[in-house]
Amino acid sequence: MKQNPKTVRMWMIICFLFSSGLATLENDRDFKMCGIWRHGNSSRNLKYDLRTGCEKIEISANESTLSIRGRITAKCTGSSSIDLDSNAPQNQSHFCVFWEPLLDLLIVEVNGKNHTLCEPKGLQGSCCTDLSQGDQKNASVFGIVKGSIRGDIIRDDAMEIYTFAGGSINCKEKFCDEASQKSRGANMIEEVVMKSGTRGHVDLPCAQSTVIEMEEGFKGLNLTLPAYPSVAPNMIPSVYLPSCLKSATKIKSKVVCTYYKEQKLFQRGPSDSILLDDIVGLSVENEIIENLSEPVRIRFHHIPLPANCSGRCVSWDTRRDKKMIWRNDGCNTLKINERETECHCDHFTYFAILVQVEHKATVRHLEALTFITAVGCAVSLVSCLVLFYWLCKLRKGKKNQTSLVHRGLVVAIFFLCLFFILTGTIANVGNSTVCMITGSLLHYSLLSTLCWMAMEVFHTFLLVRKVFSSTPPWVFYLGGFGLPALLVGILLSIGDIYGEKKIVPSENITSPYRMCWMLDSDKSRLAHYIINVGLLAVVVSSGTVMLFLVVKEIRNRPDWKKIHVAFLSIWGLTCLFGTTWGLGFLDFGPLSEATLFLFCIINSLQGFFLMLRYYSLERIKKKDDSSSDGSSSGSSKQHMLQHTHENS
Ligand SMILES: *[C@@H]1O[C@H](CO)[C@@H](O)[C@H](O)[C@H]1NC(C)=O
Ligand SMILES: *[C@@H]1O[C@H](CO)[C@@H](O)[C@H](O)[C@H]1NC(C)=O
Ligand SMILES: *[C@@H]1O[C@H](CO)[C@@H](O)[C@H](O)[C@H]1NC(C)=O
């Protein structure tokens, strides 16, 4: 949906009116007295005499002079006379006196022209406000008529003098109270800070701001926000402003970074989430900052989040939307560590971290499952050693492809079990680099196991097609060990794939089981789906196809009936065991508890089953050899069994 420029412009005007309407909402600190000054036709001037203190202000007028005198300012002093443009042939002028005590700002507007008598110099703590009407004096001809305060007319007739007495209060506190009751309280704070004319630190009870000026050649800036008395210095958020923030057209622009501790100023997050304490607001004077080419970075410090919770950067967009909500878009969340999260955002507004309970599946009976898996892996380790020894001994000297492929699979499963046992311990002991390396090794051995299974399928294919011994061994090594190394190498070079993963037991979500594996990030989830699940799918589907091919090839032979049960069970088991390891790494999600236990048992005992299978095949073959009498049927049977064995 593309809006035409006219509509956009109209909306911008409406939004502007809307926001400026809100921004100029009166508050009871500020004073605004207006009236019509009836004067003579000759030259006129504006006289003022301002001193610090908190007594009263006198606004008086006669034929030639509008005069402002008083003791109400915090810092500003001065007395002078300004000549007013008196060429106009009128005998009355509209005027207003504005007094903003928080800023120590006093402006007199005469006939639409503003004269700033007191410039703001920072925010004032104690200031003079609540100006109430005191003495007044009637005038004969010249003076002030239709005197009004904040738009309410107080006297219609001509007065020579108005007096207002003030009281001293803590303006900053009052201002924060007011801001926290307004829907745009935070905007109000930033506007005042922007107007305050200071650079550097501006301190309010509800917010701490830093004002910086970007000059020409602005190269980006690292900024630590001013400290809060109640916050430890190392918990203060830090901000990096990128160089692209400085627009080329302006010579100077002011940036205000504000650190809020007052959540009342903002709306709460969605009901199932908590907003962390810190909120950082960023704004540039008179500009809306969007679509930055380099993101602004805000680093938040926080308490460690519970394992089943995740923190996400959110921004509160008040400018684009009329609805003010915490939004997820426009910011990327980068988890630095347990206690630090960095937000990378492409626009300027208010930023915070929203903590949400992750609806991540927790695993029941995790402790029992971990134990079963560890025992199963230990049994498999021993089985793999025994099997490897057999394979080496029996086939010694003979260049046998079948034994080569079996040996490869055994080695891969051995390392898979070994790293699986080690991974939990290393995650608890080692640092992040060690964990990353262990995670990649575990992944390598899983991929290698899957690849060697694929090699078994490939080898069976060669046998069925009777392509004997034409394949050099390095092809198998390349497929079984080389390809996984390549894949893991690619993932390592991408980075942020391996590391500590937490599996949360549902019995006690505060103590997750740590393992070194693939991280919980989007990138590694993608890698998991493409590589692990993809490879598994290739192995399972090609295995199934191969099973059919073999059955088709040998079913017409006379002895098929006799051995087909053994054959099918062996192949079926191979497929089952082949897939279970992979399935164990898939999401546990919908699996029932019984299935989960079964998976853990079968998976971890894989090496043991491999040994059993090999052993039973050897037995069948031996029995067959001894009962064979050299007849044609016997030799055919033997040939077929040999075939079956090699296939398995
Ligand atoms: C008008 O008021 C000013 C200051 O209050 C005073 O200096 C001046 O003399 C007055 N002018 C007349 C004509 O009374
Ligand atoms: C003069 O200043 C006041 C107070 O800041 C403001 O409301 C008003 O719009 C200004 N008038 C002009 C003509 O700039
Ligand atoms: C949960 O685990 C934590 C940390 O190991 C432990 O302090 C706490 O007592 C456990 N809670 C339960 C209910 O077992």
Task: Kindly report which listed range (18-27, 150-159, 362-371, 605-614) carries the lowest average pLDDT score.
Answer: 18-27
Residue whose CB lies within 8 A of the most ligand 2 atoms, among 93, 104, 107, for a mutation test: 107
Assess whether the C-beta atom of 98 lies below 6 angstroms from ligand 2. Answer: yes
Q: Which atom of ligand 2 is nearest to the CA of 107?
A: 2
- Output the pTM of the full model: 0.57
Task: Give the pLDDT score at 631.
Answer: 37
**Distance (Å) from CA 109 to ligand 2 centroid:** 7
174 CB neighbour count, 10 Å cutoff: 19
What CATH topology corresponds to 366-647? Answer: Rhopdopsin 7-helix transmembrane proteins (1.20.1070)
Q: What is the band of 10 on the pLDDT scale with cuts at 50, 70, 90?
A: very low
Instruction: List C-alpha distances in Å: 204 to 122, 124, 209, 332.
Output: 11, 10, 8, 30
Q: Looking at the predicted structure, is the pLDDT value of residue 615 above 90? A: no
Mutate to test the pocket of ligand 1, among 64, 81, 140, 141 (most ligand atoms within 8 A of CB): 64
Q: Which atom of ligand 2 is nearest to the CA of 105?
A: 5
pLDDT tops 80 at residue 529:
yes
Taking CA atoms only, the protein residue closest to ligand 3 atom 3 is 511
- At residue 109, the pLDDT reads 93
| CA–CA dist 94, 146 (Å, integer) | 10
Percent of the chain with pLDDT over 90: 14
- Of the candidates 394, 502, 503, 452, the one whose C-alpha atom is nearest the C-alpha of residue 606 is 452
Q: What is the DSSP letter of 89?
A: -
Query: By CB neighbour count within 10 A (0-12 exposed, 13-18 middle, 19+ buried), where does 392 fall?
Result: exposed
Look at residue 14 and tell me whether its pLDDT is greater than 50.
no
Task: Confirm or reject: Cβ of 511 under 6 Å from ligand 3.
Answer: yes
Residues within a 6 A CB radius of ligand 1: 47, 60, 62-65, 67
- Whether pLDDT at 645 is above 50: no
> Do residues 270 and 290 touch, judged by C-beta distance below 8 A?
no
- pLDDT value of position 79: 92
Dihedral over alpha carbons 393, 396, 399, 400 (to 10 degrees): -20
Q: What is the pLDDT of residue 25?
A: 43
Condensed to tens digits (0 to 9), the pLDDT of residues 409-440 reads: 899 989 988 988 888 888 888 788 898 999 99
Residue 513 CA to ligand 3 center (angstroms) comes to 12
The mean pLDDT of 273-298, rounded to a whole number, is: 86
User: What would the pLDDT profile of 99-135 be if each residue is shown by its tens digit?
Assistant: 998 899 999 999 888 999 999 888 888 888 877 777 7
Tokens found for residue 544: 């199934």
Residue 98, pLDDT > 60, answer yes
What percent of the chain lies above the pLDDT cut of 70? 79
* Structure tokens given for 638: 């033997």
Give dist(CA 217, CA 73) in Å, integer: 38
CB atoms within 10 A of CB 256: 22
pLDDT of residue 23: 38
Indicate whether residue 109 lines ligand 2 (CB < 6 A).
yes
Ligand located closest to 23 CA: 2
Residue 359, pLDDT score? 60
How much is the pLDDT for 561? 63
Please give the C-alpha separations between residue 291 and each of 28, 239, 252, 472, 536, in angstroms, as whole numbers.
Answer: 38, 18, 20, 57, 41
Q: What is the pLDDT of residue 530?
A: 87
Mean pLDDT of the chain: 79
**What is the fold of 210-361?**
Chondroitinase Ac; Chain A, domain 3 (2.60.220)
pLDDT band for position 260 (cuts 50, 70, 90)? confident
**Cα 50 to averaged position of ligand 1 atoms, centre (Å):** 17
Lowest pLDDT segment from 67-81, 145-159, 274-288, 610-624: 610-624
SS3 619: helix
- Residue minimizing CA distance to atom 12 of ligand 3: 508
Model pLDDT, residue 611: 82
* Domain residue ranges in the chain: 5-174, 210-361, 366-647
Query: Which of 94, 109, 115 for a ligand 2 pocket mutation test, highest count of atoms within 8 Å of Cβ?
Result: 109
Q: Residue 567: which pLDDT band, with cuts at 50, 70 and 90?
A: low
pLDDT at res. 568: 61
pLDDT score at 2: 41
Q: What integer pLDDT is reported at residue 171 of this predicted model?
A: 87
Using the predicted structure, report yes or no on whether residue 13 has a pLDDT greater than 60: no
Over range 267-294, report the average pLDDT: 82
